[in-house]
Structure 1
Amino acid sequence: MTEIRHIVFDIGKVLIHYDPNLPFSRIIPDADERADFFQRVCTHDWNIEQDRGRSWADAEALLIEQFPEKEAHIRAFRTYWAEMVPHAYDDSVAIMTGLIDAGRDVTMLTNFAADTFTEARKMYPFLNLPRGVTVSGEVGLIKPDVAIYERHVADFGLSPEHSVFIDDSLPNVEGARAAGWQAVHFTGAEKLKADLQGLGVSF
């Protein structure tokens, strides 16, 4: 078994909850209208470009030009972003902090817009505990592009074969493996604990 020396956490849906429906269930109460808004207007593909580094001003302008009648709803996506991340997953956070307390090398690698990540760090101070973080919006790369894993390795001096990545997204897990890392698919804290123990990581 290859020794694990570096443990790398994703953030959204691993350490903190994320759901755009939370504020929008109030902003657009009709479920069908809300689903249509996310499918046609503020789509996943649109949002991921902010994770790649596009500014919110540019993102909003692009959609408002296409959907001027939806301007208030488009602007609400950033305005009420904090409501989309209402709580941490305490059991997962406990695993991360336990690893840090045990002297393990812990970093984070996340698809996150730069400014909302700054906000998240204020909301959730435990995001400041790991040795460091690669934020997609700051480096202009996003998972599962192998380049972002290679950037993380270079910036933090990791050995890929001795690194394990934890992410709720299977494509992102596969991206880490393509970069030569070990990786586990996060589905819950108990399974994560068992997966880490199976890799010889005790804490």
Structure 2
Amino acid sequence: MKIKNIIFDFGGVLMDWDPRYFFKDYFNDDEKMEYFLEHIAQSEWNEEQDRGRSLAEGTEIQVKKFPEWEKELRAYYDNWTVMLKSDIPQNVDILRRLEKTEYQLFGLTNWSEETFPYALENYDFFRIFNGKIVVSGTEKLIKPDPKIWHVLLERYNLLADESVFIDDNPRNIEMARSLGFTTIKINPDTNLEQELSDLGIKIH
């Protein structure tokens, strides 16, 4: 089957987001920071905001659980933009070059509906998708739930076996593969152009 569509995850693929970018200076103590991120503001908690829970509600739930960490927990979303350090230039360059090809480009991201607009406004490459982006916080569904891929396929009338899905999370890659997508797993040292070329996708 000929590939027609290329679907990008954002965090870890096109955007460099990590709470450590803020909390490293905030704590000035790596051990304390890692404890906080692993046990107090853990990724499972943040994912619930990506699934559609409001930032305010998520914060209050966690403050109630860990009142001694209230200051740090309130700092989390107040300083979220510091955690969004930059784009990932080599992959954004590939996206810009793909815009000039015949492939259709889509976004499928686990991202809070409240914080995603900041990224949209501050990084011009998002316009390349022409609004064809499925955001977990808006849909109240989160990868690796297969339903969020079905939202993308149905909304834009796509076939999984005509689509490449690019993500940095192994669970999401595994699920996409099981749904019939061709996949590319991104690591910090991945040569995305080479990976696409290996699939027969040439970028000029």
Question: Size of the alignment, in residue pairs?
Answer: 202
Q: Distance in 2 between matches of 1:56 and 1:188?
A: 29
User: What runs of 5+ residues in structure 1 fail to find an aligned partner?
Assistant: none
Deviation at 1:39, TM superposition (A): 1.7
Instruction: Report matched runs for 1:22-41 at 5 Å.
Output: 22-41=21-40
Normalising by structure 1, we get a TM-score of 0.95
The Cα offsets for residues 15-57 of structure 1, whole Å up to 9 and x where unpaired, read as 0101111110122111111111112211111001011001011
Residue pair 2:173, 2:183 contacting (<8 A) in 1 also: yes
**1:182 counterpart residue number:** 182
**2:98 counterpart residue number:** 99
What code does the residue aligned with 1:165 have? F
The Cα offsets for residues 44-78 of structure 1, whole Å up to 9 and x where unpaired, read as 11001011001011101101111222211101110
Residue pair 1:14, 1:186 contacting (<8 A) in 2 also: yes
Normalising by structure 2, we get a TM-score of 0.95
Deviation at 1:189, TM superposition (A): 7.2
Compare 190-199 and 61-70 and name the one that shifted more.
190-199
What code does the residue aligned with 2:35 have? D
**2:111 counterpart residue number:** 112
Deviation at 1:159, TM superposition (A): 1.1
List 4+ stretches of structure 1 deviating above 6 A. none
**2:166 counterpart residue number:** 166
Deviation at 1:191, TM superposition (A): 2.4
**1:56 counterpart residue number:** 55
Deviation at 1:188, TM superposition (A): 4.8
What code does the residue aligned with 2:11 have? G
Is 1:140 matched up with 2:145?
no
User: What runs of 5+ residues in structure 2 fail to find an aligned partner?
Assistant: none
Is 1:124 matched up with 2:129?
no
Q: Percent identity?
A: 33
Deviation at 1:128, TM superposition (A): 2.1
Seen in structure 2, the aligned counterparts of structure 1 residues 74 and 196 have a Cα distance that, compared at 3 Å, is same
**1:155 counterpart residue number:** 155
Residue pair 1:92, 1:189 contacting (<8 A) in 2 also: no
What code does the residue aligned with 1:8 have? I
Q: Distance in 1 between matches of 2:189 and 2:128?
A: 19
Q: Distance in 2 between matches of 1:93 and 1:34?
A: 30
Q: Distance in 2 between matches of 1:87 and 1:189?
A: 17
RMSD: 1.3
Residue pair 1:8, 1:163 contacting (<8 A) in 2 also: yes
Q: Distance in 1 between matches of 2:35 and 2:188?
A: 30
What code does the residue aligned with 2:180 have? G
Deviation at 1:140, TM superposition (A): 0.8
Is 1:4 matched up with 2:3?
yes
